[in-house]
Amino acid sequence: MGIRDWFRSKKRKHQAQKYRIGMEKTRASVFNRLNDLLDSNTSIDDELFEDIEELFIMADMGVDTVLDLVGHLRRHVKTKNIKDASQLKDVIVEEMFRRYVRDEIVDTNLTLAESAPSVFLFVGVNGVGKTTTIAKVAKLLQEEGKRVMLVAGDTYRAGAINQLRVWSERVGAEFFAKTAGSDPSSVMFDAIEEARRQDVDVLLCDTAGRLHNKKNLMQELGKIRRVIGREVGGAPHETLLVVDATTGQNGLSQARIFNDVTKLTGVALTKLDGTAKGGIALAIRETIGVPVKLVGLGEKLDDLEYFDIEEYIYGLFADVVDDG
């Protein structure tokens, strides 16, 4: 099946989906410009390549990735002797598809332990939306019939514990907290005991936001992870790095260091309903090898979706190919 056919079948299948709606702004701002660019240019020259480069950089895809991609385009144009700029559309989409979709073997489902409880740990820098994401995941899991407990592991930020408590009430999940300022590892320890007593299936553990370049805070996180692993075999079953879609290339640095300390199993990309392109997710996958598992597409509790790379690429390029 050719790329165009694939796109058409996707289009029929998914037109009404939230994904597409959520990413409307993203598409409108960048990738429509790709269309304009390729339609308005008839000849292919250095300037066009530089413009394409900038477009992708604007999506926060990372300079290295983009240079590599455009390098491929340059070679392709040369060997295939392409003269018409609009022909580049297919080449670009095909290349994105080849890179990110076809070799997709990564399972983006959340891993649950064979016997309860499962422990999910949420980590990330300050202000990315960890607490909100936890509430959304709780809702998702409860709809799948799981008994969920939210664990207030952010004992540092003022109001963080109550923020999670309010969410637990809204989604009707169990809630565990100690007093503000408690050692987060001990919160985890006690929460696991409590979860066993209450037959909880999944613990969703919040942690304080921390900048990845703060050594002692990262050590604290390492300890949290070790304590969880000691109390529940194979835990944490998911360690999700929450990344704000507006994050620039710093996202790579975040992913690299958090992965070193807590061995990430996936990324939750939040705030993708803005104008940010979330290209950093592609960069993280390509350079660190950690897949995006969840995306946040709005402020409401059910605005969380399992990430589907095909959907994402489709979301980015739908108009480019449709119009072509």
Taking CB under 8 A as the binding criterion, the range among 75-83, 109-117, 160-168, 302-310 that sits at the site for another protein is 160-168
Question: Measured from the CB atom, is 159 or 234 closer to another protein?
Answer: 159
Selected from 32, 47, 196, 211, the binder of another protein by CB under 8 A is 211
Q: Which of 10, 139, 237, 271 binds another protein (CB under 8 A)?
A: 271
Q: Is 260 in the site for another protein (CB under 8 A)?
A: no
Q: Is 297 among the residues that bind another protein (CB under 8 A)?
A: no
Residues 213-233 as b or e (16 or more Cβ within 10 Å = b): eeeebbebbeebbebbeebbe
Residue 212 within binding range of another protein, rule CB under 8 A: yes
Judged by beta carbon, residue 128 or residue 192, the one nearer another protein is: 128
What is the C-alpha separation between 26 and 276, in angstroms, rounded? Answer: 6
Residue 64 has phi, psi (to 5 degrees) of -60, -50
Examine residue 253 and tell whether it contacts another protein (CB under 8 A). yes
Beta pairing partners, 240: 122, 266
Among the listed residues 163, 178, 286, 319, the single contact to another protein using CB under 8 A: 163
Q: How far is the CB of 41 from another protein (least distance, A)?
A: 18
- Shortest distance in whole angstroms from residue 243 CB to another protein: 10
Ordered strands of the 304-306 beta sheet: 174-176, 148-151, 202-205, 118-123, 238-244, 266-270, 292-296, 304-306
63 binds another protein (CB under 8 A): yes
DSSP track, 109-128:
SPP--SSSPEEEEEE-STTS
Question: What is the rounded CA–CA span in Å between residue 294 and residue 305?
Answer: 6
Among 202, 276, 284, 318, binds another protein (CB under 8 A): 276
Q: Which stretch binds another protein (CB under 8 A): 107-115, 154-162, 185-193, 233-241?
A: 154-162
Contact region for another protein (CB under 8 A) — 35-43, 136-144, 157-165, 183-191?
A: 157-165
Cis ω before 236 (30° cut-off from 0): yes
* Residue range at the interface with another protein (CB under 8 A); choices 36-44, 152-160, 186-194, 307-315: 152-160
- Tell me phi and psi for residue 57, to 5 degrees: -60, -35
Is the Cβ–Cβ distance between 151 and 232 less than 8 Å?
A: no
Cα(first)–Cα(last) distance of the chain, in Å? 17
36 touching another protein, by CB under 8 A: no
If the CB atoms of residues 111 and 250 are measured against another protein, the closer one turns out to be 250
The answer to whether 296 and 136 have CB atoms below 8 angstroms apart is yes
Q: Which residues bind another protein (CB under 8 A)?
A: 25, 29, 54, 57-60, 63, 125-129, 156-163, 165-167, 211-216, 244, 246-251, 253, 271, 273-277, 280
